[in-house]
Structure 1
Amino acid sequence: MRSGPVGARIHHRHVSRIRVPSRLGRPPRPTKPGRRDRDGSAEIGHNRPLNWQSEDRRYHGLLLRKLSEMAPQFVEGAPYWVDLSAADVPAAADFYCRLFGWEATDLGEEAGHYTNLTYQGQEVAAIGPAFNTDVTPQWITYFKSNALYDTTKAIEAAGGVVRMPPMDVFDQTSIAQFTDPVGAEFAVSQPKKHTGAGRWGDVGSVCWVELHLRQAEPSVSFYQRVFGWTTRNMPMGGDHEDPYTLLIPSGQDDSFGGIYIDDQSGQTPRWWVYFGVEDHEAAAAKAVEMGGSRLAEPMSVPEVGSWSVLADPSGSMFCAFTPPN
């Protein structure tokens, strides 16, 4: 395996100041409009190349501090929930609860023993029973839609495949699951009473989602057609020719995730989920102790954070990410 779900260390240098989930409100910027970089070359804002040597470097830390003060208010097209299908739900829940300090609540037989996971009383994810035990389970990212049936039609028209047609989940939400044109699985949800995760972008919750592909097209065009995302390419440097692509909901400035092109690993395209932890090294050691595995060497970028690439005992892959102090 290559450098892990983040793709390459260099990418975090480019996305550090906009590496936050998209919300209705944005945290205050650390600079006033019109203020210029130390070299006087450009105004600080989103419509210019990022300068890692300037105040871009400090912006990341401010955003991470602000995240815990903000209640998630997810815009349409942004990720707002994740869940895992497991052959043994209690065992999977026990693994992640011990790893991340979560608490599990089985919603009962009527709900198919779908199990909500909370951190400090806030919902962060869930685990449900797997209906196909012949494949390795994976974390599924749910994107918000205000019109699920229209989104389903758009997905089919753009070349996606419906794996599970729209269905109501009691009075909580309506959901559907899909496969994009290159094989990456994802889901879409239209909120009702359940409006998504109660905690996002902080320790104990999802911090970032990332799509791993062998080539950019047709996936980039597919998601743009379906969700109206805008994108921004960042050079990765070194011998990596393909840029890293930031994903931004329509009408927003902040990126919720990215696309990393990995044409060497031969892995099936998939959405990766990053969970925030206080110490990713300790989390990795604990995961291995409980029967999980470390899939790559840990990585770190000063003032950005560090992460470990892991798999649970059933093989489901994820990342443990530690923000800077």
Structure 2
Amino acid sequence: MLTTTYVPGAPNWLDLGSPDTDASAAFYSAVFGWEYQSAGPEAGGYGFFKRNGKTVAGIGPLTEEGASPSWTVYFHTPDADATAKAVEQGGGRVRVGPADVFAFGRMAAFTDPTGADFAVWQPGETAGLEAVGIPDSLAWVELYTTDAAAAKAFYGSVFSWQTNDVPMSPELTYTVLAPAAGGEEANHGGLMQLPQENLDAGSTPEWHPYFEVSDCDATLAKATEAGATAIIPATDAEGIGRFAMLLDPAGAPFAIIKSATG
């Protein structure tokens, strides 16, 4: 499970790139009860989503040419420059080179060899998100990829993640991810091969977040009423919980889950 005691390789930040930050803030406020707080005039339109006074995500305008609305997952690194080198050596691409964000920390953004975007956060004054793993906050991250074997090898070389393959069907294996210093209790995400029908429907490699909720069906109803599109209806996963996947009104994918132990 996720915790705010961040270790290298664990998700420690999350932000939304939106074509209309006001509309996105209104949507997520309606769904999760988040409050939007601007980071100030010097932050280029960037701001924070707060829940009960604690930061649960960031949000900002789309800044990269051709970028689509999406959530970006950041992973903890003690050295963003070294991670950038590891990404390049592993066949990935550095989209945004390591740079300081005031005194808060140092970040860099990448694309993995299969085409999925992700980022890293090297903590300074800000260690990461202030709340995770509780209702209305980040609970899990997941990669959809066109080449699961290549993705496992790449992220293994960059973050030294522990992996555990779980057969879901004769055709599908789900790989559970944990930090190098973790163990089963530290599992933070998963990756899976995109089935052919998803590819035929236009799906592309991407990371997306799961947000913990108190009631999956009620939250799904709130989200669709606020303009989201359900792409996986509320579904039970034995021993895991009840989840659903959506596109927000701008088209950014995310998922919600009422964990079996949450």
TM-score bracket for the superposition, by shorter chain length: over 0.9
Q: What residue is the counterpart of 2:233 in the other structure?
A: 297
Q: What residue is the counterpart of 1:35 in the other structure?
A: none
Q: CA 1:112/1:201 → structure 2, altered by over 3 Å: closer, same or farther?
A: same
Q: What residue is the counterpart of 2:208 in the other structure?
A: 272
- Alignment partner of 1:248 is 2:191: no
**Which letter maps to 2:99?**
M
Specify every segment of 5 or more residues in structure 2 that has no aligned partner in the other structure, as ranges: none
- Alignment partner of 1:258 is 2:190: yes
Size of the aligned set, in residue pairs, is 255
**Which letter maps to 1:307?**
F
**Which letter maps to 2:89?**
A
Q: What residue is the counterpart of 2:85 in the other structure?
A: 153
What are the within-5 Å matches in structure 2 for residues 145-294 of structure 1? 145-237=77-169, 240-253=170-183, 254-264=186-196, 265-266=198-199, 267-294=203-230
Taking the aligned partners of 2:35 and 2:233, their CA distance within structure 1 comes to 29
Greater CA radius of gyration, 1 or 2? 1
Give, in angstroms, the shift of residue 228 of structure 1. 1.0
Give, in angstroms, the shift of residue 323 of structure 1. 2.3
Taking the aligned partners of 2:191 and 2:235, their CA distance within structure 1 comes to 18
Identical aligned pairs, as a percentage?
A: 38
**Greater fraction of residues in strand:** 2
Q: What residue is the counterpart of 1:105 in the other structure?
A: 37
**Structure 2 length as normaliser, TM-score?**
0.93
Taking the aligned partners of 2:65 and 2:217, their CA distance within structure 1 comes to 30
Give, in angstroms, the shift of residue 242 of structure 1. 3.5
Cα offsets for 1:104-131 (capped at 9, x unmatched): 1011220112111111111110101112
Specify every segment of 5 or more residues in structure 1 that has no aligned partner in the other structure, as ranges: 1-19, 24-71
Query: Which residue of 46, 50, 63 maps to 1:114?
Result: 46
Cα offsets for 1:8-39 (capped at 9, x unmatched): xxxxxxxxxxxx12x5xxxxxxxxxxxxxxxx
Give, in angstroms, the shift of residue 302 of structure 1. 4.9
SS in 2 for 1:296: strand
Q: CA 1:115/1:255 → structure 2, altered by over 3 Å: closer, same or farther?
A: same
**Structure 1 length as normaliser, TM-score?**
0.75
Decide whether the 8 Å contact of 2:46 with 2:59 is kept in 1.
Answer: yes
